């Protein structure tokens, strides 16, 4: 360092100190960001088979509507006390597809929670890497598409024994229209576009506007994220078995889940959270609905395949009897 620099520092030491502090902050941020990504490696290979999970249980349950989540949440709430982790439940139930600014705020909020925790909300997949953060542990449940559609249709009208303050946005005629009539009559509520946007695929596809439109692109994006970004996805039709598998996969969070599920208090939620007023589909309506939900069925079949692959691996490694 020459004499001119030394003289300048002596005259204005605060400038030198400020620059030094700024340099340390920048270096620290770089290393912190690097550490985050190192500690949160992708935890599934392209075949959907489990590998190592990220360090620190930062679990996001971006729950699909009418796929058993009310029951699962009751189990999680009990587990949070038993296994000593935090449970964060959003009070936002309708805004699944959100603006970029809202995504940034939500990612920042979740990223600043001290693990271990579970954060749950009806929200479509958030790409944490887009906002400079490593991925959390994504989990979810999916349900047979026609059953989920019918349950959602009647829940929007009548609620269930737990949520009774439903305000239907439509006429009395629309509210009382049976689901089979809606499907066979070609009403907009039962159209392919509406059914797709309210289905399972956008929850996995993400926040891209194309995820709300029925297409091969949206399906493949959802499948890719199911396999590469989700630690495990349970099947609603095999709810108890799914919880047993969660126990084996994330014991610090889900240890004891199956025992809690069997308790009477949790079992009651299954019946109480069944949508009111449901009517069975006519054979003609069932046939047409399967065509309307063709992308959802392909996604569901893929989710079941991944589920079975994980189940086989758990048995091979002795983690599941």
- In angstroms, the CA 223 to CA 58 distance is 22
- In angstroms, the CA 166 to CA 191 distance is 22
Residue 217: both structure tokens together: 């692109």
CA distances for 150 relative to 65, 126, 146, 267, 284, angstroms: 12, 27, 6, 22, 15
**Number of H helices and number of E strands within the chain?**
16, 5
Question: What angle is formed at CA 103 by the lines to CA 229 and CA 223, rounded to 5 degrees?
Answer: 25
Q: Which of 125, 94, 97, 95 is nearest to 110 (CA)?
A: 125
Contact 139, 245 (CB under 8 A): no
Q: Is 238 noted as a catalytic residue in this protein? A: no
Collect all residues with Cβ–Cβ distance below 8 Å to 195 and sequence separation of at least 6.
149, 292, 293, 296
**3 state DSSP class of 50:** strand
CA distances for 112 relative to 24, 217, 238, angstroms: 22, 33, 34
- In angstroms, the CA 52 to CA 243 distance is 19
Q: Which residue has the tokens 């289905």?
A: 199
Catalytic residue among 97, 122, 124, 238: 122
CB crowding 227-259: b at 16 or more within 10 Å, else e: bebbbbbbbbeebeebbbbbbbbbeebbeebbe
Q: Hey, which residues are catalytic here?
A: 122
């Amino acid at each position: 360092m020459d004499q001119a620099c030394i003289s300048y520092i002596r005259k204005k030491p605060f400038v030198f100190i400020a620059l030094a502090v700024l340099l340390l902050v920048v270096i620290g941020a770089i290393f912190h960001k690097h550490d985050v990504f190192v500690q949160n490696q992708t935890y599934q290979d392209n075949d959907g088979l489990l590998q190592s999970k990220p360090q620190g249980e930062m679990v996001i349950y971006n729950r699909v509507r009418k796929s058993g989540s009310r029951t699962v949440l009751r189990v999680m709430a009990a587990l949070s006390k038993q296994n000593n982790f935090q449970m964060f439940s959003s009070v936002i139930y309708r805004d699944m597809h959100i603006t970029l600014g809202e995504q940034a705020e939500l990612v920042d909020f979740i990223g600043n929670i001290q693990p271990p925790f579970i954060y749950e909300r009806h929200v479509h997949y958030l790409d944490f890497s887009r906002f400079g953060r490593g991925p959390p542990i994504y989990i979810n449940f999916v349900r047979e598409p026609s059953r989920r559609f019918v349950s959602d249709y009647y829940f929007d009208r009548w609620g269930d024994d737990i949520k009774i303050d439903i305000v239907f946005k439509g006429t009395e005629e629309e509210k009382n229209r049976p689901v089979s009539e809606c499907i066979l009559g070609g009403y907009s509520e039962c159209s392919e576009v509406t059914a797709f946007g309210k289905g399972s695929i956008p929850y996995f596809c993400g926040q891209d506007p194309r995820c709300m439109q029925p297409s091969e692109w949206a399906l493949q994006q959802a499948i890719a994220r199911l396999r590469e970004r989700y630690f495990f996805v349970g099947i609603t039709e095999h709810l108890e078995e799914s919880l047993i598998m969660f126990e084996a996969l994330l014991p610090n969070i889900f240890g004891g889940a199956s025992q809690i599920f069997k308790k009477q208090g949790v079992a009651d939620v299954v019946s109480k959270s069944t949508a009111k007023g449901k009517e069975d589909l006519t054979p003609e309506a069932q046939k047409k609905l399967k065509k309307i939900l063709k992308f959802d069925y392909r996604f569901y079949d893929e989710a079941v395949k991944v589920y079975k692959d994980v189940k086989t691996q758990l048995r091979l490694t002795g983690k599941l009897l």
